[in-house]
Amino acid sequence: MTDIYLFLTVVAFLAGLIQGFSGFGSVLLSLPLLVLFLDVREAIPLANLMGVVLTVLIIVQLRAHWEWRKIWPLLAGACPGIPAGVWLLTRMDPMHIQIVLGAVLLSYAVYGLLFRLPIGRLGGAWAYVFGFFAGGLGGAVSASGPPVIVYTSLQAWTKDQIKVTLQGFFVVSGLLIGVFQAANGLVTDGVIRNFLVSVPTLLAGTWAGSLLYGKFREEGYRRVMLVLLGALGVFTLARAL
């Protein structure tokens, strides 16, 4: 049991580090590691709880940059997207959906690193469109983040506005997921115990990631986002294939 707690604290620190720095990616990192020593039914709700705490911490840090008008169109678009994604899941192989998603993310990241992206040219109704696809992917393959990350990376916002908008979307979706998981008996005493053990290093990792984040300028932060999106695309393709 001691070895499990030690490994858990290391995973929590790394999850906090990447989320504190980039604003996303904690579940991508933590979930594959957690399932190495926990049952998947325990790992999934634990990763979600950790993610919710991380987003709340970052929102508190960047609360001066919080703007509901940037967040609510994404959430409004996601609401009809979720049942559409569930409908798609019943009619398509999830592997095919993940292959398309991984290929799109990798292509977008490579293009953004090699060429100039159309920053600031997407606005208005596009937030609802990207939100819809985020909800659709969430309902289909539990991966709502990528469309929102792509959308925010194309906005002429500061890195603080990008990061806090991502957290606003993630915290609402994470809370909804947590409610459904708890209602279905997945948030057990063991999950809560492991979550409490992870909190100290989760906080430490978030603090360290936020310090690293503060050392990057706007352009550098956008390039790091593209690199991480490319890594997410590769991971998604690898998992599907």
Q: For residue 200, what pLDDT is reported? A: 94
Indicate yes or no: pTM above 0.95: no
Q: For residue 221, what pLDDT is reported? A: 85
Q: For residue 77, what pLDDT is reported? A: 92
Q: For residue 32, what pLDDT is reported? A: 76
Q: For residue 1, what pLDDT is reported? A: 59
Token pair in block for residue 65 = 């940059």
Parts of the chain with a pLDDT under 70: 1-2, 89, 94, 140-143
Q: For residue 129, what pLDDT is reported? A: 93
Task: Give the closest residue to 46 by CA, choosing from 29, 28, 25, 31.
Answer: 31
Q: Report domain extents, the chain.
A: 2-240
Q: Is 64 exposed, middle or buried (0-12, 13-18, 19+ CB in 10 A)?
A: exposed
Distance CA(29)–CA(17), nearest Å, equals 10
Task: Give the closest residue to 138 by CA, choosing from 189, 190, 84, 93.
Answer: 84
Q: For residue 22, what pLDDT is reported? A: 85
Residue pair 92/220 in contact (Cβ under 8 Å)? The answer is no
Q: For residue 192, what pLDDT is reported? A: 93
